């Protein structure tokens, strides 16, 4: 075990941040740590790092004294040197630099004649062994390779760290953490400043590394790719799940359904007991009625579960129905200073109800195109033409349509002052503003809340074409899901600029990619064009052809026959090259086999418990109604648990069979 928290409690003044949190990190695992903003995710990391002390419980820290080489990344880390990019990345390896310097000195002394040569050579051997143990011969090359993968060129290695932007400094600190974390990596939101190529590299690195990894992230697609376990923090408590994010969501939904059944069963039982008490408290059976009343008073009541709001379905009727075509781009290109960022897009039609995603690297003109469509800036060439009865709304990352003097209720009510209060409250509830939330000042809202209120304001104005610029930036996962629900429920057309692949996969039905000076449109969502969107051009080329490629000639000089060479007889038949190992598939099969085995064991355990209980009930005295009623409740709970376990086993078995195909 590399690190753990065991029944940990932590308070900040009167606020209880963590309650009985337990988490063990074993070698070879990759944890995704999730939860709402403020749920305590970074606090858990700080406990492991020794930056905070728990009020109660025990914390096993991954320290150097225990021989654990740990790397930690967080967005608020600052460089510890004023040197170059490469020097900062290597700053944690001061021992390596000292050893290397001593090796050079010893090599110089060995070149001199003297009586202490044997002593110098013995010392040189010890220093060399220590240098090798610390990977001194490879650390510089590894640092350069990681920096390049994170977007730095060879010329950037000598740039002073002080001259870098905030995002570039964050990437240097991420490279530094990866170099340090040969046994354990704790990464807090590592994807925020990465473009798609760097993000794909980080996914591959985490999948292939021998180090144990724990990642705090709101990037659900990233978590699906890398996580083998999920730790959820909710209301200060922890819960661990096997599998990636999608598997966690399935299990969470199943748990919710089971909890609802248990809640309904308990409510029915309480109602029956209360009815019996009401009828008999003053009659001949008053003693039994009082006993039941005492029993109810001691009953551990199940809280009514909150339904997963992501499953709530709603829609926004168009206040004014547009024509079939919402927007037409004609010979359109955008840019700055009179220079276009890409070749003109000859013609593109966005139809009513269409949800188009715009993708590409930073600086290619995605947000600039939205600004031109909304007439904030002019097009370099061409124009945008709105369709019949189209009203446009532009959602920018700064939420300029919100009035800081308003409360949430006032912001929406101001759109139509004649609207009834109940109508405004019902509208706000669709955006998860309920109860006291509607009286919050706009200035007191979180980033996710401000985004939801901003888009609510646009929709309340009756727009039927939404332009959305990075609508899920800086949101936690529940806020992202609420935003996705809003876009899907919007009956008008929407154009979305985003780096969020999960959002693209759930919302977009068409894509516009801006890359290398070209804007190219395709029908279909992210899963249909994943390699194309991720700029994995080799995979795109390989998947784009259904005909077998002709064999390629080797470019190696050794493959070219010498002109003087004589025929050596008929060539031997060439065996087909072995199919490359699909590491992702192997991991998936191994994970599903583990799930099947665990599910089978759970089913067997519950069946044994149920059989034992039924045998016990058969031998009971039916007159002892209290004991029999308690056993009956236990039987219902076990039957529900068994049904859930059987469902889990069937799902795991089906997933395993699918993965083995």
Domain check: are 503 and 362 in the same one?
yes
| pLDDT, position 83 | 87
Q: How many domains does the chain have?
A: 4
Of 206, 222, 245, the last residue of a domain is 245
| pLDDT, position 545 | 39
Task: Select the highest-mean-pLDDT range: 457-471, 566-580, 594-608.
Answer: 457-471
Whole-number Cα distances in Å, 262 to 72, 299, 304? 42, 14, 10
Query: Which tens digits make up the pLDDT trace of 2-36?
Result: 999 999 999 998 889 999 999 999 999 999 999 98
More confident residue, 280 or 230: 230
Q: In sequence order, what DSSP letters do the residues of 190-245 get, joined into one string?
A: TTTT--HHHHHHHHHHHHH-SSEEEEE---HHHHHHH-SEEEEEETTEEEEEES-H
Domain check: are 233 and 266 in the same one?
no
Residue 556 confidence class, pLDDT cut points 50, 70, 90? very low
Mean pLDDT within 83-95:
84
Query: Which tens digits make up the pLDDT trace of 377-386?
Result: 999 999 999 9
Residue 586 confidence class, pLDDT cut points 50, 70, 90? low
pLDDT surpasses 50 at 581: no
Cα-flanking dihedrals φ and ψ of residue 574, to 5°? -85, 125
Query: Which tens digits make up the pLDDT trace of 402-419?
Result: 999 999 999 999 999 999
pLDDT surpasses 90 at 314: no
The Cα diameter of the chain in Å comes to 117
Residue 392 included in any domain: yes
Domain check: are 527 and 611 in the same one?
no
Domain check: are 79 and 199 in the same one?
yes
Query: Which tens digits make up the pLDDT trace of 602-649?
Result: 877 887 888 788 777 767 765 566 676 677 778 777 777 777 777 677
Domain check: are 56 and 194 in the same one?
yes
Query: Which tens digits make up the pLDDT trace of 125-164?
Result: 888 888 887 777 788 888 999 999 998 999 999 999 999 8
pLDDT surpasses 80 at 288: yes
Mean pLDDT within 349-360:
93
pLDDT surpasses 90 at 44: yes
pLDDT surpasses 70 at 507: yes
| pLDDT, position 165 | 85
Q: Are strands 381-386 and 325-333 parallel, antiparallel or unpaired?
A: antiparallel
Query: Which tens digits make up the pLDDT trace of 520-550?
Result: 999 999 989 988 988 865 555 555 433 333 3
H/E element holding 70? Answer: strand 70-73
Domain check: are 634 and 531 in the same one?
no
Domain check: are 266 and 337 in the same one?
no
Compute the C-alpha angle 274/279/283, nearest 5°. 130
Mean pLDDT within 508-523:
94
Least confident of 27-36, 238-247, 338-347, 590-599: 590-599
| CA quadruple 463, 466, 472, 476: dihedral, nearest 10 | 30
Cα-flanking dihedrals φ and ψ of residue 524, to 5°? 110, 165
Residue 568 included in any domain: no
Residue 99 included in any domain: yes
Residue 565 included in any domain: no
Domain check: are 356 and 274 in the same one?
no
| pLDDT, position 624 | 65
Residue 108 included in any domain: yes
Residue 156 included in any domain: yes
Q: What is the CATH number of the domain that holds 340?
A: 3.40.50.300
Mean pLDDT within 224-244:
92
Domain check: are 410 and 501 in the same one?
yes
Mean pLDDT within 304-316:
55
- Residue range of the domain that includes 395: 325-537
| pLDDT, position 306 | 63
Domain check: are 145 and 188 in the same one?
yes
Residue 61 confidence class, pLDDT cut points 50, 70, 90? very high
What SS3 class is residue 655? Answer: helix
Least confident of 186-190, 277-281, 304-308, 397-401: 304-308
Query: Which tens digits make up the pLDDT trace of 456-492?
Result: 899 899 898 999 998 888 788 888 888 888 888 888 9
CB 493 within 8 A of CB 352: yes
Of 307, 334, 349, the last residue of a domain is 307
The rounded distance, in Å, linking the Cα atoms of 226 and 203 is 6
Identify the residue whose tokens are 């009513």: 352
Residue 553 included in any domain: no
More confident residue, 307 or 255: 255
Mean pLDDT within 61-72:
92
The rounded distance, in Å, linking the Cα atoms of 88 and 425 is 53
The rounded distance, in Å, linking the Cα atoms of 125 and 99 is 11
Mean pLDDT within 369-378:
94
Domain check: are 239 and 253 in the same one?
no
| Single pTM value for the model | 0.69
Mean pLDDT within 295-306:
82
| pLDDT, position 628 | 66
Cα-flanking dihedrals φ and ψ of residue 386, to 5°? -75, 145
Residue 542 included in any domain: no
Domain check: are 226 and 288 in the same one?
no
What is the chain's mean pLDDT, rounded? 83
The rounded distance, in Å, linking the Cα atoms of 34 and 188 is 11
């Amino acid at each position: 075990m590399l690190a753990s928290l065991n029944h940990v409690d932590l308070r900040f003044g009167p606020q209880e941040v963590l309650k009985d949190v337990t988490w063990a990190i074993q070698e070879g695992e990759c944890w995704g740590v999730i939860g709402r903003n403020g749920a305590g995710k970074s606090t858990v990391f700080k406990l492991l790092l020794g930056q905070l002390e728990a009020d109660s419980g025990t914390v096993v820290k991954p320290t150097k004294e225990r021989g654990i080489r740990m790397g930690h990344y967080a967005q608020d880390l600052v460089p510890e040197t004023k040197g170059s990019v490469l020097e900062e990345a290597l700053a944690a390896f001061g021992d390596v630099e000292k050893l290397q310097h001593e090796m050079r000195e010893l090599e110089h002394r060995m070149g001199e004649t003297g009586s202490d040569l044997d002593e110098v050579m013995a010392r040189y051997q010890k220093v060399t062994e220590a240098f090798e143990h610390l990977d001194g011969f490879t650390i510089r090359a590894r640092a350069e390779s990681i920096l390049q993968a994170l977007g730095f060129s060879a010329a950037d290695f000598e740039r002073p760290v002080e001259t870098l932007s905030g995002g570039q400094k964050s990437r240097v600190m991420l490279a530094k953490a990866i170099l340090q974390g040969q046994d354990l990596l704790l990464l807090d939101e590592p994807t925020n400043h990465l473009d798609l190529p760097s993000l794909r590299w980080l996914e591959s690195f985490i999948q292939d590394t021998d180090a144990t990894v724990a990642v705090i992230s709101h990037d659900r697609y990233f978590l699906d790719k890398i996580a083998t376990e999920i730790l959820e923090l909710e209301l200060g408590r922890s819960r661990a799940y096997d599998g990636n994010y999608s598997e966690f969501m399935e299990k969470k939904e199943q748990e919710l359904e089971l909890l609802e059944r248990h809640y309904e069963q308990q409510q029915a039982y309480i109602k029956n007991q209360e009815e019996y008490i009401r009828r008999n408290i003053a009659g001949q059976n008053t003693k039994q009625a009082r006993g039941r009343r005492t029993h109810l008073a001691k009953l551990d009541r199940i809280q009514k579960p909150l339904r997963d709001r992501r499953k709530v379905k709603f829609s926004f009727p168009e206040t004014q129905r547009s024509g079939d075509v919402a927007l037409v781009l004609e010979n359109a290109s955008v840019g700055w200073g009179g220079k276009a960022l890409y070749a003109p897009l000859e013609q593109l039609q966005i139809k009513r109800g269409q949800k188009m995603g715009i993708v590409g690297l930073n600086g290619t003109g995605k947000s600039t195109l939205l600004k031109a469509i909304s007439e904030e800036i002019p097009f370099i060439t061409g124009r945008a033409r709105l369709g019949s009865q189209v009203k446009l709304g532009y959602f920018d990352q700064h939420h300029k349509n919100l009035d800081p003097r308003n409360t949430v209720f006032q912001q929406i009510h101001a759109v139509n002052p004649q609207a009834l209060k109940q109508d405004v409250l019902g509208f706000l509830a669709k955006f998860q503003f309920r109860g006291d939330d509607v009286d919050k000042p706009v200035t007191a809202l979180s980033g996710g809340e401000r985004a939801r209120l901003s888009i609510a304001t646009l929709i309340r104005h009756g727009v039927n074409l939404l332009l959305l610029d990075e609508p899920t930036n800086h949101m936690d996962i529940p806020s992202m899901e609420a935003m996705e629900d809003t876009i899907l429920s919007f009956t008008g057309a929407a154009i979305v600029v985003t780096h969020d692949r999960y959002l693209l996969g759930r919302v977009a039905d068409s894509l516009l990619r801006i890359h290398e000076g070209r804007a190219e449109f395709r029908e279909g969502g992210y899963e249909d064009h994943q390699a194309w969107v991720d700029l994995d051009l080799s995979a795109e080329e390989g998947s784009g052809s259904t005909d077998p490629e002709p064999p390629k000639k080797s470019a190696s000089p050794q493959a070219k026959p010498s002109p003087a060479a004589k025929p050596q007889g008929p060539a031997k038949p060439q065996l087909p090259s072995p199919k490359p190992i699909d590491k992702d598939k192997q991991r998936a099969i191994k994970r599903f086999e583990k799930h099947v085995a665990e599910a089978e064991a759970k089913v067997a355990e519950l069946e044994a418990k149920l059989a034992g209980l039924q045998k016990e009930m058969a031998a009971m005295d039916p007159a002892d109604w209290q004991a029999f009623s308690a056993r009956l409740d236990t039987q219902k709970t076990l039957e529900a648990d068994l049904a859930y376990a059987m469902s889990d086993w069937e799902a795991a078995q089906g997933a395993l069979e699918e993965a083995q195909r």
